[in-house]
Amino acid sequence: MTEAISYVHGASAQALIGQTIGSYFDEVCARHAAREALVVTHQKTRLTYAELHDKVDQLACGLMRLGLKRGERIGIWSQNNLEWVLTQFATAKAGLVMVNINPAYRRAELEYALNKVDCRALILAPVFKSSNYLEMLGDLAPELATQAPGPLRAARLPALQYVIRMGSEKTPGMLNFDSLLAPPAADELAALEKIGSELQFDDPINIQFTSGTTGTPKGATLTHHNILNNGFFIGEAMRLTPDDRLCIPVPLYHCFGMVLGNLACITHGSTMVHPAGGFDPLATLQVVAAERCTALHGVPTMFIAMLDHPQFSGFDLSALRTGIMAGSPCPVEVMKRVVDRMNMREVTIAYGMTETSPVSFQSSTDDPLDRRVSTVGRIQPHVEVKVVDAEGRIVPRGTPGELLTRGYSVMLGYWNDPERTAEAIDGAGWMHTGDMATIDAEGYCNIVGRIKDMIIRGGENIYPREVEEYLFRHPKVQDVQVVGLPDRKYGEELCAWIVLREGQKATEDDIRDFCNGQIAHYKIPKYIRFVDEFPMTVTGKVQKYLIRQKMKDELALVEDKTA
């Protein structure tokens, strides 16, 4: 009998959607016109599907009124808000390519992003947290200060012509967002409809910059077909209906917010609920309770922050049913607490990457709990996945290797970067994820770590997540991250950064004693540090490379380049 190989495909009787986002959006808005589509609590805004449709058309016509044409790029640099949601759907209807710019970006990163894809327009918030966006853009384009709103001529941003700011205040050289929401004339609506009839679902519609640890960010280019279908099938896995209300505290600039959140809702007539500009555990709990949300998204660190909030027990979360925990490996103990204490008995786990729209694997609402807490579920419909060894050969079921994905969800490529596109997508159309994974006999996938995060100590392969999962069992440990550090004798040694539960104290010996006799000696961390927080991206992903660098500096460790 031939040994089962690590290859799965999502055969499905449910057809892919062969429409653009705009045409599908119009149909949904007509079908659910009177239902509540969008709630933005921090802006005190509520829109029905009919009202959302009208505002989106207003903005789409407003952008076209500026002379922006199909295929041109328009950046958005902002926290979560009403304007972001309107921009997402208006650009799709007008055939413009929306460029998501990380709210954490600073001057050099903004300049790179705008110039890399030749953004012709930029929509921006005035400020967010410690970022003064108007000031940073003014430094890059001082010409704004002396020009009337309209076509810009900036030496350092040669493609940028229009800057559109949110809010009611006036800024030299900039248009106001609300000025684009004037009621469109009949001929403008006719022009918008004509563009819609000409758009193809394989047209690029969205560029998202992926954050690498080295080199410049790459602009993953996604189509209507990529993200509309991914949003739909994500919603299907959660069993979303028009009666569901999804709380979306994850960033819109990332696929988690705009695809797993907004597009999952839109494709099912559900309600999008945005609780704050950025993640705030108290605001999220308040909104989930007040809005009777039935679903909630977040990365593990967000759920930990909510569960451990001093006021957690005071909120009625009984309406919660489902949601998604994703973005980084989901600790088993955290998942169990979410199910038990937040009433999210049908919570799902999802796995993917920006370049694949993003989700490739997702658990279903009726998967056994042990499967939902120990895997990332099974293959999404219409997607293929295989796990390969270092030579590119498919490995047997249960054997770790690199995860490769193929199907409708794979991006067009990195914008204007054929070399790096060819490195990521091979000649057979497989996207190389860089993640180490196993696929079991029933098709469930387990992500065991990043290829670059795997630790090799004295010839033993160690996946940090395995050690993290064990340390999560310690009653005093709230969160933990394990990295490898260079070591002259063993090649690498383990280092654990640990955040303790509030009011708890522990020593390095306490942690090692907890490990002795329970896990192999070579998996017990040599270095242990107790910290208040981890370095994070704005999407809530832990930046392990910064932990590694900080420890190397602190311990004066040097990489052995000869190995």
Please check whether residue 528 is in contact with residue 522, taking contact to mean a CB–CB distance below 8 angstroms: no
Q: Is 484 contained in some domain?
A: yes
Q: Is 111 contained in some domain?
A: yes
Supply the CATH number for residue 506's domain: 3.30.300.30
Taking the whole predicted model, whether its pTM rises above 0.75 is answered as yes
Res. 547: pLDDT tops 80: yes
Q: Report the C-alpha gap between 449 and 454 in whole angstroms.
A: 7
Query: Which of 294, 238, 310, 227 lies closest to 268 in space, CA to CA?
Result: 238
162 CB contacts (<8 Å, ≥6 apart)? Answer: 66, 68, 120, 121, 122, 150, 151, 152, 175
Residue ranges making up the domain that contains 489: 461-555
pLDDT of residue 236: 98
Query: Which of 190, 128, 202 lies closest to 165 in space, CA to CA?
Result: 128
Residue 246 pairs with which residues in a beta bridge? 272, 295
Phi and psi torsions of 527, nearest 5°:
-110, 130
Query: Which of 499, 29, 105 lies closest to 272 in space, CA to CA?
Result: 29
Among 210, 236, 252, residue at a domain's last position: 210
Residue 481 pairs with which residues in a beta bridge? 497
Q: Is 303 contained in some domain?
A: no
Res. 214: pLDDT tops 60: no
Q: Is 482 contained in some domain?
A: yes
Domain count across the chain? 2
Average pLDDT over residues 454-460: 80
Among 189, 210, 231, residue at a domain's last position: 210
97-101: strand order across its sheet: 175-176, 162-165, 119-124, 73-77, 97-101, 204-210, 218-223, 413-414
Q: Is 235 contained in some domain?
A: no
Among 154, 179, 210, residue at a domain's last position: 210
Q: Which amino acid is at 393?
A: R
pLDDT tens-digit series, residues 154-198: 999 999 999 999 999 999 999 999 999 999 999 999 999 999 999
pLDDT of residue 561: 43
Q: Residue 319, exposed/middle/buried by CB under 10 A (0-12, 13-18, 19+)?
A: middle
Q: Is 468 contained in some domain?
A: yes
pLDDT of residue 370: 84
pLDDT tens-digit series, residues 397-413: 999 999 999 999 999 99
First to last CA, the chain: 40
Strands 491-500 and 527-530: parallel
Question: Does residue 377 or residue 539 have the better pLDDT?
Answer: 377
Please give the torsion angle defined by the CA atoms of residues 176, 180, 182 and 187, in that order, rounded to the nearest 10 degrees.
160
Q: Is 343 contained in some domain?
A: no
Q: Report the C-alpha gap between 337 and 416 in whole angstroms.
A: 45
Q: Is 435 contained in some domain?
A: no
Dmax (CA) of the chain:
76
Supply the CATH number for residue 168's domain: 3.40.50.12780
- For residue 366, count other CB atoms closer than 10 A to its CB: 8
